[in-house]
Chains A and B, each alone.
Chain A
Amino acid sequence: MNTRHASSRLVSRYSPLDRLNHWFTAITFILLTFSGLALFHPSMFWFTQFFGGGPWTRILHPYIGVLMFVSFSGLALRFWHHNLITRNDIQWLIRIGDVVQNREDRLPEVDRYNAGQKMLFWTMMATIPTLLVTGILIWQPWFAPTFSIGTVRVAVLLHALCAFIIISGIIVHVYAAFWVRGTLGAMIRGTVTRAWAAKHHPGWYKRVVRGEDH
């Protein structure tokens, strides 16, 4: 536990390694989104220009994908135990209307993560390994030729479906970080204010106060 902020108005939420791991994953994710969407719909084919043209986009995408899988594995190991679904999470999801209306007072007590964050976590837990496996099945020229065309057809559709789900999820994730003020600092400098913690993650904040952080 980081005691540096013990008496200040800030509390520590993410360690430097947490942040490094998160942002490495985020950068690979952004690169994958742009290079992948370029090959998904022609309206976005021009994204290939960021990667040095069509063939380079095709060459780089799968290697970046492997990097993201490895990097995300680190995040999964770090954070999975904070993301177990509880009864409060179900209540939180039922009152999603209050969530989007900024009416925190009507919501059950949130611990380190709210149900929305947990859903994103488990969405990534499901889609990223699927993207890796289907990605290997369609990886030209190394692996795709060893699989039947029927298998590749299933893989390519699943790959697109998982990519769509995770991109949509990350759009919400990014928006939420701007929408809930004071959140960005958690992943940039590692800290949040006590007031922020008490408002958005009271369960977690109580444990921080008791010195049982993390």
Chain B
Amino acid sequence: MALQSLDITRRSATTTPGPSQRQMSEVAKLIDVTKCIGCKACQAACQEWNDVREEVGVNVGSYQNPHDLTANSWTLMRFAETEVNGHLEWLIRKDGCMHCADPGCLKACPSPGAIVQYSNGIVDFHEENCIGCGYCITGCPFNIPRLSEKDSKVYKCTLCSDRVAVGLEPACIKACPTQALVFGSKADMKEHAAERIAELKTRGFENAGLYDPEGVGGTHVMYVLHHADKPEIYNDLPKDPQISPLVSIWKGIAKPMATAAMLVTALAGFFHYVTIGPNETEEEEEEHEA
């Protein structure tokens, strides 16, 4: 929202390049799942900064509250109890937009400028251009955008693009009491993650690793996982996320091909008419009418 138009590298439903003279350095949020205590300070800070409030819900026997991401809750601590590794583990993952380098939401969006990608990697929704079709929901490999029942616009984490634009860190980062959340350049975050992963390995988490999935070109929200070989145990974090081939066909090859084919069909009619010509019925009385 708050970054300058000069910093927009990709814009939904736009077939020409965005302004690309200036290249900001890529940013990233690193979520160290192994340090998270599930306090939900990040959830509270998110609502506080963005000035949205979740409705008070009901307890269904889980710490997870609300039960899912909503148009007001752009980030959510997901709690998973698993025994996959031979003993009980309580895995807590802060869920929200991953800010993909190759965003499926932006690919699917039919409305020019409703979704933009800044040159620092942040993917942002511009709700004033949103038409409420829900195509972004279809395009997202992580099931993140939420359509508001109130206004039929979609909402999701902005990575606090307004704060980042003026040199501040996102609100959730600022609120995290254990430094499970850190923010900086993507290169720095990868370096920091590598140190954490090395340490986790010395503590016996042999499969500790970074979640920065290649299938979507890498993400600008990354996880340090103690079991990076099994991301799905963290409340179904996809192992190899990518834009669905159905969406790629629909908003990729089919778009120009089908448009061209329809144009060619119409043109073929025109050229048939001016070469072979109309099929007329010979009839004296018809002459003056035809």
Where the two chains meet, the residues of A that have a C-beta atom closer than 8 Å to any C-beta of B are: 9, 37-45, 48, 53-55, 57-59, 100-102, 104, 138, 140-141, 144-145, 149-150, 152-154, 156-157, 160-161, 164, 167-168, 171-172, 175, 178-182, 193, 195-196, 199-200
Contacts and interface: CB of A to CB of B under 8 A. Distances in A.
Interface in B265-290: 265-266, 269, 272-273, 276-283, 285-286, 290
Contacts of A39: 110, 131, 133, 135
Interface of B: 13-15, 110-112, 129, 131-135, 137-138, 140, 143, 147, 149, 152, 244, 246-247, 249-250, 254-256, 258-259, 261-262, 265-266, 269, 272-273, 276-283, 285-286, 290
Given A141-B147, A172-B265, A172-B269, A101 B276 contact: yes
B239 to A, nearest CB: 16
A40 B138 contact: no
Nearest to A155: B138
Contact of A58 (B133, B137, B282): B133
B269 A175 contact: yes
B13 A55 contact: no
Contact of A141 (B152, B250, B255, B281): B152
Contact of B283 (A138, A178, A179, A195): A195
Nearest to B258: A164
A23 B138 CA distance: 35
B244 A43 contact: no
B276 A55 contact: no
Contact of B246 (A144, A157, A178): A157
A100 B276 contact: yes
